[in-house]
Amino acid sequence: MRDTTHASPGTCRRVFSSSLAVLVLLAAGLAGASATSAGGKVINVAQKPANAAEPALPGLLLVSLTVKDQAQFDSYAAKTRPLLATHKGAPLFRGTNPTALFGEHTHPVLIGFRFPSKAAIKAFYSSTDYQALIPLRTAAADVVFIAYDIDQEAPQEDMRALLAVNIIVKDAAQFENYAKGTQPIVQAHGGNLQARAINPEVLFGHHRYKTLVLFKFPSQETIRAFYNSEAYQKLIPTRTAGADVIFTGYDL
């Protein structure tokens, strides 16, 4: 039996400049369709003629893994690369050396691939050629595969660290207050929001969070400085009231 799921894509996409104040609010799903700030104009590409077809959101394939047999994993990876290319999957990042800032953490490597759509991710995963590689993957590594819609993204920046934040919002008003307080602290520590991913579909493994927000920082040291700062620590009670979260930093 093939290990996959099916769902329709979302309905909008926004591509962002470095306007962090707007980006963090949007990461919580609490801002409007478009906005402008001092950091630059936010571009809303969701606007279209009334009769136009709904565009597909780009997709994020997120892979968490623990290698069990390096030789078998190298063989699996080499055989997987051309299948990714066939389905227009492109590497976004490879995070290692994780730092668990808050919440549970299970795998030491986090890899992201960008696809034209979530449907393209599922076509890759359910293809006969990829399914034939799953026994080799199982021997090589423990993995979690999750397909997302990317509804917000910014140009990729060349930084050395990634902060991955998994979120389940419990109280939208509390979370909005938390997000408003957080954005200047992120900015002060050199962080930039890179993407928000929504509508997760677990292709393999277990995952319960609903939104993934990805930030890039100059280093893991700056991620820890942000998280441990007095200003951010004061916001944690509001965060706790507003959402269940996992914060994990990675080297890139």
Measured distance CA(1)–CA(107) in Å, rounded = 26
pLDDT band at 105 (very low <50, low <70, confident <90, very high): confident
Domains and CATH numbers, the chain: 14-251 (3.30.70.100)
Encode pLDDT of 185-208 as tens digits: 999 999 998 999 999 999 999 999
Q: For the chain, what is the mean pLDDT?
A: 84
Taking only the tens place, the pLDDT of each residue in 15-72 is 333 334 333 433 444 333 333 233 333 333 344 444 556 788 999 999 999 999 999 9
32-36, 85-89, 155-159: least confidently modelled range: 32-36
11 pLDDT more than 90: no
**Is residue 214 over pLDDT 80?**
yes
CB 46 within 8 A of CB 157: no
Banded pLDDT at 170 (limits 50, 70, 90): very high
d(CA 152, CA 60): 11
Whether pLDDT at 75 is above 70: yes
Amino acid at 157: E
- Cα Rg, the chain, nearest whole Å: 18
**CA–CA separation, 164 vs 122, rounded Å?**
23
pLDDT at position 52, please? 55
Confidence class of residue 104 from pLDDT cuts 50, 70 and 90?
confident
CA distances from 138 to 66, 142, 219, 226, 245 (A): 11, 7, 32, 37, 29
- At residue 240, the 3 state secondary structure works out as helix
Identify which has the larger pLDDT, 47 or 140.
140
Asked whether the beta carbons of 204 and 144 are under 8 A apart, the reply is yes
Tokens of 160: 């050395």
